[in-house]
Amino acid sequence: MIVIPAVDLYQGKVVRLARGDYNEVTVYSDDPVAVARSFEDAGAGRIHVVDLDAAAQGRGANLDAIGAIARALGIEVELGGGIRTVEDARRAFDLGVKYVILGTVCVRDPSTASSILEAFPGRVAIGIDALGGRAAITGWKEVTSMTALDLARHYEKLRPAFIVFTDISRDGMLTGPDIEATVSLARSVSTPVIASGGVSSLEDIRALAATGVVAGVITGKAIYEGRFDVAQAVRASRSRAGA
């Protein structure tokens, strides 16, 4: 299981939101490149970048920071937030991003989402952000009637690179991930599922790794708050996986 540290960007700074609430922003750094490089130095094999401005407003305010991160690192960068057209995806790839993650467009405009997946095979993932089992969009401001599982199954035929499954109620709260829901989704689809939201301890990471069906875990606030560091997280992800 891969550990993917998160770098959430808001107005050019590294931040974390509590439960996706833009009124509950904690700023951790004004140097996104330094933060990302420190994660690479600690052994991360991929970085998860979110453009929070683009997620909420549909346009990017952090392109310079995203490009600088991609250029500075020798590891993969995945990007979510505001990828809603083929051109948005192409722009991200031109910046040096390895994968883009689709969210809102998957619900609002399935035809365009399909076009993006078809245009860049193997490089497009689906982000499923759920509240009470229902998919949420537009920077988590709107909860839809579509279930997370229905959304995942709808796009499986287009072979997304992976699914990032986030429990909004736990994101940024350090309450532990919803392992049961994550495992249920992973067992219901053939697409690799990456867990996100609520990771609070190394035991959470060990528990996800021990399921044998979760492909990766994204962790942010626990690292920024000093619960553990990236190197410890990487070791924990391997401790019950035969490494």
**Residues annotated as catalytic (active site), given as ranges:** 8, 129
Structural tokens at position 132: 């009470």
The 3-state DSSP class for residue 231 equals helix
Helix axes 148-156, 110-119, angle to 10 degrees: 50
Angle, CA of 118, 126 and 88, to the nearest 5°: 60
Largest CA distance in the chain: 43
How far apart (Å, rounded) are the C-alpha atoms in residues 108 and 100? 17
Q: Strands 163-167 and 124-131, how do they pair?
A: parallel
